[in-house]
Structure 1
Amino acid sequence: MTISLHGSATVLFQGDSITDAGRLSDPGYPLGRGYAQMAAELVRSAWPDSDITFINRGISGDGVSDLRARWREDAVDLKPDVVSVLIGVNDTWRRYDSGDVTSLRSYEDDYRTILTQIREGSDTRLILVEPFLVPVAAEQWAWREDLDPRIQAVRRLSEEFDAALLAADGLLNQAARTAGGAERIAGDGVHPTPLGHAVLAEAWTALVGL
């Protein structure tokens, strides 16, 4: 499905460091320097007469429980017309680097809660971006045991909430093959390179009819 952005709308990007992309460390780039900024530029270029406001509230290091804790202030109160969410890789990463486990049930329940809250009393449209991993180290392949079920949960939620789905995991892994290696798309397997962000931005704009 696609979401029409023609006319007037407020679009909110939410997530972790992939969405943050430096916005908090560089006030000159309130949308960061990643896919959110690139997508906004593509939309503005294609529809210069539209009245679309883009907001980025991604915060580096966040997992789904962090997103739920700040959701009222950083999402619901902003009254967005469209919300784009990318969250989940930190819930996997922390299991492997610090032993901090977020169960699949907790992940899906928290994710469902934020989507329910943003839809209460509104017709907010949703774009769900799959969490992804483009392994650059052999040990990262083991992370798929934890991440893949989270990807499936996002797919279930996209159907449950009639949300547009950006199937980022397969997209970026295929892009890595095309580009000649995972490092060209995500230097550490998690954070996209400029090329990786561009791939995400193009796929995102396709979901809004660009």
Structure 2
Amino acid sequence: MSHSASKKSKTIVFFGDSITEFGVLPGGYLQVLNEMLAQNGIAPITCLGAGISGNKIYDLYFRLEEDVLRKNPALVVILIGVNDVWHKVLHGTGTDAEKFEKFYKVILNQLKAANIPVVLCTIISIGEKIQGQNPQDADIDLYNGIIRNLAITYQHPLCDLRKAALDFIIKNNTANVDRGFLTKDGVHLNETGNRIVAENILQNITQIPGLL
């Protein structure tokens, strides 16, 4: 039986890297989101984390079948890209922009073929200084531009976590430090960051027709 032919569960798969892997822990954005869903009286729905630390876009491609398609979810939320950018400097690896876009398209095409709705999320941050003052801000803008264009091309909702992060940083990071407001280390979310991510994702998923 094809993925699109079988009845979908009330499951949302959150597909990503360490930000999502840590999101299932106490205080993580998935835990916070579950609490928000309950508080809003939304019908029971399973938020399933499928994040692995260090993953890049091509890692998601290679585990798409096992970690997403086999679960036949009602929705997939993709939050990926920070390692594709960050690891260029951190480990001398990363993913160039052209390959990032190509792998992302293959993933979206397979999800489309399975008739699974998708929400795309922008990369949040690599450093929390004011926009343009973190070393990899230009690359983040480039890769987020790709994600935004894919959301338009494939007509998927965009959860613009980057915009939410920048709005918060401009308002609160008056000392212009590189961490501590939304993240512990410039990348991985702290309590405030997890809450803001959960709030923004909730706004998006409640707009998906027939999901809740």
TM-score (norm 2): 0.83
Matching of residues 37-48 of structure 1 within 5 Å: 37-48=31-42
2:210 is matched with none
Query: d(CA) in 2 for partners of 1:137 and 1:175?
Result: 11
1:15 is matched with 16
Structure 2 SS opposite 1:183:
coil
Give the count of matched residue pairs: 194
Query: d(CA) in 1 for partners of 2:31 and 2:13?
Result: 12
1:82 is matched with 75
Query: d(CA) in 1 for partners of 2:188 and 2:64?
Result: 23
The answer on 1:192 being equivalent to 2:194 is: no
1:91-134 Cα offsets, whole Å, 9 max, x none, are: 11110112114110100111111111112132x21111101215
1:205 is matched with 202
Query: d(CA) in 2 for partners of 1:130 and 1:87?
Result: 8
| CA pair 34-140 structure 1, distance change in 2 beyond 3 A | farther
1:8-30 Cα offsets, whole Å, 9 max, x none, are: 7211111011111164xxxxx5x
| CA pair 134-95 structure 1, distance change in 2 beyond 3 A | closer
Question: Residues 134 and 172 of structure 1 are in contact (CA less than 8 Å); yes or no, is this contact kept in structure 2?
Answer: no
Q: What is the deviation of 1:140?
A: 7.0
The answer on 1:125 being equivalent to 2:117 is: yes
1:19-44 Cα offsets, whole Å, 9 max, x none, are: 11164xxxxx5xx6421221122112
TM-score (norm 1): 0.84
Query: d(CA) in 2 for partners of 1:137 and 1:208?
Result: 29
Question: Residues 17 and 62 of structure 1 are in contact (CA less than 8 Å); yes or no, is this contact kept in structure 2?
Answer: yes
Identify which of 55, 58, 72 aligns with 2:48: 55
Sequence identity percentage: 28
| CA pair 41-22 structure 1, distance change in 2 beyond 3 A | closer
Instruction: Specify the code of the residue in structure 1 equivalent to 2:85.
Output: T
Q: Which runs of structure 1 show a deviation greater than 3 angstroms over 4 or more consecutive aligned residues? A: 136-140, 179-182
| CA pair 9-196 structure 1, distance change in 2 beyond 3 A | same
Structure 1 SS opposite 2:12:
strand
1:5 is matched with none
Structure 1 SS opposite 2:180:
helix
Matching of residues 119-158 of structure 1 within 5 Å: 119-122=112-115, 124-133=116-125, 135-136=127-128, 141-158=134-151
Instruction: Specify the code of the residue in structure 1 equivalent to 2:13.
Output: L
1:130-174 Cα offsets, whole Å, 9 max, x none, are: 012152479972212222111001101111221111111121122
Query: d(CA) in 2 for partners of 1:79 and 1:35?
Result: 22
Identify which of 22, 28, 36 aligns with 2:30: 36
Give 5+ residue unaligned stretches, structure 1. 1-7, 24-28
Instruction: Specify the code of the residue in structure 2 equivalent to 1:9.
Output: K
| CA pair 63-135 structure 1, distance change in 2 beyond 3 A | same
Query: d(CA) in 2 for partners of 1:57 and 1:9?
Result: 16
Structure 2 SS opposite 1:185:
coil
